[in-house]
Chains A and B, each alone.
Chain A
């Protein structure tokens, strides 16, 4: 039985070139290296472990099928992250069609509750350990609406500009701006609420 060559020391760029020539072992090494990152992005958007696993696997399959289109303008992992984000957005759109959320949507576009919230003046994350901060951010993200969470992830985690987010979310730049604004306001208030809970 032939053993697989060890590719753990081979840089991404070289692995990508090998995979583009059909080397599946090279591609498997890329999957091994970046699977957590791709899964984490899917999970942050979907908030469901099973869906995140499925979508991240689908992203890898698409990545393999489109590998020849990868020109190396960005890093391979960035390119793969874009693929999984697009798949998650498609999935979220499908799910949204099945939900009755006209009131939620109206409130979201007009600001709803977020406009009435007081401005948080004391940093509720000051002095927190990194692990604790991450837990709280994750908990707060989980309490946001799908639209608010997505816009935050695309802007803060993926560092996309308003224009690019609008393109991916298929909405106007104005909608991106208002969603981001309300998402941040809600996030600040949720974090302040966690701090109050901790103190009481």
Chain B
């Protein structure tokens, strides 16, 4: 039986399924002997544990047990560190959004600068990526045409045609 089915069976036992799912699971259990046996075992374990909690008595006298609780309750709470923590927390609450806002402003300005640079046609040529030793790519962007082209090529294929004219030139 798959774990999913076993857990579904358990959910049925614990009343964690919807009415529709419970009906479906009950029908499956009725026709599956292994499911019935597992359900019997899980039910036995559940019932045994539910009714079998040990009644344990505290191993200390009332007075001794209470005296420690009372002492802790009556102990004055440290106020000084709490105030300092409050001050730091207040500052942190103020600084965290401020740092976030500063980061957003910086990124906005930085992004605008990049796009301003994109108006320069020479900058388009600079956007050439070397993906790997086997694959290369050229990209071209035109702001006026609103166009962005990426040309990906295989370096090994490109190397052969480049070599041919060179040979021709030697022969000539």
Contact = CB atoms under 8 A, between A and B. Distances in A.
Contacts of A111: 3
Give chain A's interface secondary structure class.
helix
A152 interface: yes
Contact of B49 (A58, A64, A187): A187
Contact of B44 (A120, A155, A174): A120
Contacts of B6: 181
Interface residues of B, number: 37
Interface residues of A, number: 51
Interface stretch (A27-35, A69-77, A82-90): A27-35
Contacts of A161: 16
Given A32-B62, A152-B49, A40 B55 contact: yes
B39 to A, nearest CB: 10
A177 to B, nearest CB: 5
B169 interface: no
Interface in A141-196: 141, 152, 155-157, 161-162, 174, 177-178, 180-181, 184-185, 187-188, 191
Interface of A: 24, 28, 31-32, 35-36, 39-40, 43-44, 49, 53, 56-58, 60-61, 64-65, 111, 115, 119-121, 123-125, 130, 133-138, 141, 152, 155-157, 161-162, 174, 177-178, 180-181, 184-185, 187-188, 191
